[in-house]
Every structure is written in C-alpha cells, then in structure tokens.
Amino acid sequence: MLADVNIKVAKAKKVIVVSGAGISCSSGIPDFRSADGLYAMVKEKYPDAFVSGKELFSSGLFNNPATTSIFYTFIAELSLACQAAQPTRTHHFIHRLETKGKLLRSYTQNVDGFERRMGIESGGRGNGLKKIGTRNVELHGDLGRVRCVLCFADYEARDDYVEMFREGEAPHCPACEDRCAERVNRSARATSIGTLRPSIVLYDEPHPLGDEIGALQAHDMRRGPDVLLIMGTSLKVHGLKRLVKDFAKTVHEKKGVVVFVNATAPSKEWDSVIDYHIEGETDSWVERVEEDWKKVRPQDWEIQTVLDGEVVHKSVAKGKGKAKPKCGFVLGFLSLTRQTSPRSSWNRTSYPLRRRRKNAPRLRRRKRRLCRPRYRRQGPRAPQHLGEPRHAPPPRLRYPRPLQRPGHRSSVHLPPRRLPLSARVSVRTMQRRSRSTRRRRGSSRRHRRPPQHLAAVTYSMPPPT
C-alpha cells in the first residue's frame, strides 16, 4: 500500500505541498503544539507573564510594554536558532519537486525561511502577485524580514536589528525617519516615527497579503493539481483548514490523491478529505518516495554532466543537408520592399510600400455619423495612382419634406408622379389643443404652443365613369 502511494506521488505532474513546523523538527527547531514545543517552552520560561504559550503569538501582546519586550526577546532567540540550523531532507525534497517541474506551488506555515534558503522563490518584493513569490507562499510570514508598524515598509532583518530585539527594544523605521527629517528641513511639522517588528502574522491579526494569497489559490485550483501533500501540520488553524479543503476538492475532481504525513493522526472531520495518512516522520517517508521514484521514472534523474559547445541545427540532425544560417532569414525579412494583397481582385501585382514621414501627424478617421452616407460599390475600390476610374455612386432621390404649417412655401408637396387634372384635393384641419392642456403642460421651451392649424393634403381619384 505504501509503495502504491509513493508511485502515485512519483508519477504526479502538478503537486501542491502544504507544510507546517513538523518538517523542521529534525533540524533542531521545535514545533508549536507538541509537549516540548514552543507553547510549552514559553509557559515554562515566562509563567507570570502568560497564562498559555499561545498568548505570546497573539496580537494583543502589543498593548502591554512588558509582554512586547518579552515577545521581541523570544523572537530574536528563535531567529538566531533558525539561522544556525540547516534545511531538512523534506526541504530538499520540495526543492527537487520544483527542479523536476512537478511542483505547482508550496504553501508553508513555517517562519524559519528554509524554503528561501533552498532556492525556492518566495517572498517576492514586487507588485501584485509578485509580492508573495511564485513557488513558495509563506502563510505566516518570515523571521528574516521586518516591517514598520506605521508605514508597513518592509526590510531585511539585519544583525543589528536582531540584537536590538534580543535586548527587548524595537528599532526605528528608516523610511519614517527620512520622511520626518525631510519635513523638518523645510520647516514643516514633524511626523511620527514608527518602529520595526518581525514580519510574522500573529493570532487575531489580518494577513497583509490575504487578497494576493486568495488570488494565487484560485489560480492554482484552475490549473488542476493531481496530488496534494500535507506534511508536518496538525491542521488546527482555521485559514489553513479552509485552504486544504478547497485544494482537496479540486484534486478529487481530477481523480488525484490527498496524502497526509504527520506523527499525529488527524481528527475525524478529515476522514472524507484525506485519502492516505502516513504516520511517522516526514524525512523517512520522503526518502522512501525518492527510492521508488528512481525505480519508476529513472529518466527524471538523468543528468547531463558534459556539455559540448557545438549547436547542431534541426535539419542537420535529420540528415537533410547543410542548414541555413538564422541570420539569412532575418536579412530576407528586413529587405522586404513590396507587398501583394491577396484579397484584392484588381491588384495582382506588387506595389512599393509607403512609409510615413518622420514626425508626421497621424491622420484620424472621421466618425461615420459625420460623413456623407457611403454607397455600396459593385467592385473593389481602386487606388488613384493606378489610373482606374472609381465607380460612381447611385443618384440621390429627393423625397418631399414633412408637411408644415399652412401658408408656408414648403407646406404642400406633390408626389413624384403626375396626377390627372380631375384629382380632388381634400384638406383636413386639426384644431389646436385646449387651454387646459396648455396650462397643465406649462409654458416651458420644451412644450411650445402648437400652430393654429395643421393641414394634411390627401389626394383621391374620382370614381371611374
């Protein structure tokens, strides 16, 4: 059964990895919730300051200067421990999935920054989705970064910053100091200067990149992962539980598998979500997976150690003769001076291309509603320089304008055809609106007073005799 799971992981093409603090335990960094984890260590070291170890990682600790100082000292010691430790075999396995082209994305709860040290792109400093990297998403932040509590400027955690944190003090933000000094130099009011804090996400605190993480998750679900690996986490955080369930649903729709690797078993709510639970250390299971991977797909582990400097063209490799240099195609394209229009029936020959003068204004097309009506021609329109005459537009027909008030010169129009002399003309008169209607409508410009009489001319022929 275990070999079948390993083979499915080895044959996967799009793998999503969700990892927790359990994958770093073999490097000497404790996890959070175990008997000898960080929560138990905090409660034992500071029994009077905190009721439970979880309170040290709550956002409410900044309300008290004493707890804030303890938090800075503890985080500095944890950061120094992470710098002295080395990535585990599980981190190397995640990096190998990326180099083999199988890793779709890695979501980690860890703040040690081992994925970044392994070369997995994480913690991008660009705009939009680039802010959180393309391969590794740090759900809870990184101890190697600090940010301002006032302007949210992000910096790398230098050694002097870590030493100040170890003493229980917070360094000042360089961006706020520069902004305040610039205002003072021009005799303006000085602004507040923020302090730096470790760039990690605490409990009861919104994630600064929550929208970007949601967009990345939706993008990965559309790509259709076929394997979901959950390693070294107890699945107790609400946001992570929602993320894992959404990914598991997508993987099951693609007929994939969800594998959970942890020393402790999951709760009953995960029975319909997790397909396989591997109880044990993640490093030992990863080693078994790599052994089965080499047996099933040895081509994934072939490495070319010697590279020759010759580049063979495709046609030469197939034995079709000497290949043409690529520069010939470029020169042939740049020497193009004539062009043939295949869609025009009147232009079967080439004509020279016309180039626009330098700095010449671009002519805009007039809007169609402002132009004269365009008539459909029987054939294509020939250019003037070829000497072919244009097709003349059809003649315009004049129709009588609508009837106007009596006495006007254009009030009565005869039809285009000639009528007999015996035609009788009957005039129908419409009286104007009543006074009450005019009073109800008002005397605005929009409702002008209608004319006294409106005349309509009706032509009728006498009955045949």
Q: Which residues belong to the active site?
A: 140
Distances from the Cα of 294 to the Cα of 3, 10, 11, 326, 369, angstroms:
13, 9, 11, 40, 71
Q: What angle do CA 58, 60, 65 make, to 5 degrees?
A: 115
The answer to whether 327 is annotated as binding is no
CB 200 within 8 A of CB 143: yes
CB 173 within 8 A of CB 197: no
Radius of gyration of the chain (CA): 41
The answer to whether 176 is annotated as binding is no
Among candidate residues 173, 175, 156, the one with its CA nearest the CA of residue 79: 156
Return the C-alpha torsion angle 297, 300, 304, 305, nearest 10. -90
State the Cα–Cα distance between residues 98 and 106, nearest whole angstrom.
9
State the Cα–Cα distance between residues 453 and 422, nearest whole angstrom.
27
Other Cβ atoms closer than 10 A to 414 = 10
State the Cα–Cα distance between residues 338 and 354, nearest whole angstrom.
10
CB 146 within 8 A of CB 75: no
CB 216 within 8 A of CB 105: yes
Rounded to a whole number of angstroms, the distance between the first and last alpha carbons of the chain is 109
The answer to whether 173 is annotated as binding is yes
Sign of the dihedral defined by the CA atoms of residues 433, 434, 436, 438, in that order: positive
Q: Residues at the annotated binding site for Zn(2+)?
A: 148, 151, 173, 180
Q: Residues at the annotated binding site?
A: 148, 151, 173, 180
